[in-house]
């Protein structure tokens, strides 16, 4: 089974393979399960020609990884970024399979990407690229095949273009081809807050089991995009004192607490949280090591490493970002007694509400935001309890291993009953 080649900058594909391997070993599954889950069932690379504003044709490289569809059609975002790589896309599709299995959603994992710098594209060029992506992949996409969603540097508008282009290919409206759409063409209420709301829900549940009084807890949030800023507001409403937040420009710290509305308004007005009145300047690196009860890394991958993990002072970490903790850092944190809520659990609220959007599209019946939030709450609480019980059965404090075990077991059962593999013989039942 694959191992990472570097502690502080691991290849995400190798990390995903390693964690799946750990779960398969813990569950004593047939080796065929690992062989099936350690790579995507399908990986497609496409060339996308786009006519640029200056008249020339630029050819962009796009990818789509469809990891495993034993539980249902594959599901996952599309990112537009200069650093998109095949291994990154493959890893993200694998994590999506596990998120969906953990939340008991009828999806497998998918992920896509285009190597580009969207900041250098005009709106017309961006539209051409979005439409070209689905044109190139239309044969392997569809509401019962593979359903994309927004990701890094893609948004509701990109999803609207994709939905429209696919509808033109089909010659009928096909809004269920994507999630994360504008409300007017079938988007779901509650989607913008879903990732943060799901994370705060599992943080609240975890605080209960470790006897942490959430009403008197302190928190630190690294990353102040949509997920981080909404998490700040939701924690504040629970009584948590958020003492530090940061974005790509730097961080702010006030041990007395930061008002989420005031910080959000300052960021809207200035473009950054830095310079917020009454707060001390702090670096992203130092922010992670502040004394606090709850730490939410909501920015980039590989932020908590073997180098800084011994100095992390939080009792509870909720991974809003994908892969913010390296494998070696995670081992150190678990050994030190820090409870880590892994990303496939903590940030699964987004795909959960995407599932709700897909269901609403297929049934042509739409729920209120209150209904959405209630359903999300039930799913996230159920998932946390399954992970906590799995950890107890496995005799481990490592919730990442427990979460992977629950998810891998569910996919393995689906593959078994479908006849893809023989009986696993595992004694563990999630």
Contact 113, 121 (CB under 8 A): no
Which pLDDT band, with edges at 50, 70 and 90, does 152 fall under?
confident
Query: Can you tell me the mean pLDDT for 216-231?
Result: 95
How high is the pLDDT of residue 248?
87
Tell me the C-alpha distance between 107 and 147, whole Å: 9
**3, pLDDT greater than 50:** no
**87, pLDDT greater than 70:** yes
**26, pLDDT greater than 90:** yes
Residue environment code for 336-354, b if the CB has 16+ CB neighbours within 10 A, otherwise e: eebbbbbbbbbbbbbbbbb
pLDDT in tens, 362-404: 999 999 999 999 999 999 999 999 999 999 999 999 999 999 9
CATH 3.40.50.10860 at 41-176, yes or no:
yes
How high is the pLDDT of residue 10?
87
pTM metric for this prediction: 0.93
For the chain, the average pLDDT equals 94
Fold topology of 194-346: Rossmann fold (3.40.50)
Contact 33, 412 (CB under 8 A): yes
Q: How many CA atoms lie within 13 A of 236 on its CB side?
A: 20
Query: Can you tell me the mean pLDDT for 274-289?
Result: 94
Query: Can you tell me the mean pLDDT for 151-172?
Result: 96
pLDDT in tens, 406-423: 999 999 999 999 999 976
**202, pLDDT greater than 80:** yes
Task: Respond yes or no: is residue 111 known to be catalytic.
Answer: yes
pLDDT in tens, 31-56: 999 999 999 999 999 999 999 999 99
The residue from 111, 181, 189, 267 that is catalytic is 111
Q: What is the DSSP string of 193-251?
A: THHHHHHHHHHHHHHHHTT--GGG-EEEEE--SHHHHHHHHHHHHHT-EEEEEEETTEE
Domain with CATH 3.40.50.720 in the chain: 194-346
pLDDT in tens, 89-127: 999 999 999 999 999 999 999 999 999 999 999 999 999
Minimum mean pLDDT among 80-89, 142-151, 418-427: which range?
A: 418-427
Domain with CATH 3.40.50.10860 in the chain: 41-176
């Amino acid at each position: 089974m694959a191992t990472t080649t570097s502690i502080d900058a691991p290849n995400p594909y190798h990390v995903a393979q390693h964690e799946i391997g750990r779960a398969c070993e813990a569950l004593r599954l047939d080796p065929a399960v690992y062989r099936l889950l350690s790579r995507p069932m399908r990986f497609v690379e496409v060339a996308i020609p786009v006519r640029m504003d200056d008249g020339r044709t630029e050819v962009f490289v796009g990818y789509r990884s469809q990891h495993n569809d034993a539980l249902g059609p594959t599901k996952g975002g599309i990112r537009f970024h200069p650093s998109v790589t095949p291994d990154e896309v493959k890893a993200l599709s694998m994590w999506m399979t596990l998120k969906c299995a953990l939340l008991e959603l009828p999806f497998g994992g998918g992920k896509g990407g285009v190597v580009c710098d969207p900041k250098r594209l005009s709106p017309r060029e961006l539209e051409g690229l979005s439409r070209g992506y689905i044109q190139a992949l239309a044969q392997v996409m569809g509401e019962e095949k593979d359903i994309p969603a927004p990701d890094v540097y893609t948004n509701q508008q990109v999803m609207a273009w994709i939905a429209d282009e696919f509808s033109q290919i089909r010659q009928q409206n096909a809004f269920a081809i994507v999630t994360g759409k504008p409300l007017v063409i079938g988007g779901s209420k509650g989607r913008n807050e879903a990732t943060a709301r799901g994370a705060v829900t599992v943080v609240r549940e975890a605080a209960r089991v470790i006897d942490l009084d959430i009403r008197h807890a302190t928190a630190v949030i690294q990353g102040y995009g949509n997920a981080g800023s909404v998490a700040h507001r939701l924690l504040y409403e629970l009584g948590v004192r958020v003492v530090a937040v940061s974005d790509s420009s730097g961080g702010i710290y006030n041990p007395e607490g930061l008002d989420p509305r005031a910080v959000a308004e300052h960021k809207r007005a200035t473009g950054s949280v830095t310079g917020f009145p009454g707060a001390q300047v702090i670096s992203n690196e130092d922010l992670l090591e502040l004394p606090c009860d709850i730490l939410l890394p909501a920015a980039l991958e590989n932020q908590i490493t073997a180098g800084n993990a011994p100095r992390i002072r939080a009792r509870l970490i909720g991974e809003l970002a994908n892969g913010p903790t390296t494998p070696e850092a995670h081992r150190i944190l678990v050994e030190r007694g820090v409870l880590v809520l892994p990303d496939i659990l903590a940030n699964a609220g987004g795909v959960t509400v995407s599932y709700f959007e897909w269901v609403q599209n297929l049934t042509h019946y739409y729920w209120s935001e209150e209904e959405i939030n209630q359903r999300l709450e039930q799913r996230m609480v159920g998932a946390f309890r399954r992970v906590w019980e799995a950890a107890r059965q496995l005799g481990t404090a490592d919730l990442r291993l427990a979460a992977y075990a629950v998810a891998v077991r569910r996919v393995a059962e689906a593959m078994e009953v479908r006849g893809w593999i023989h009986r696993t013989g595992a004694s563990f039942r999630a």
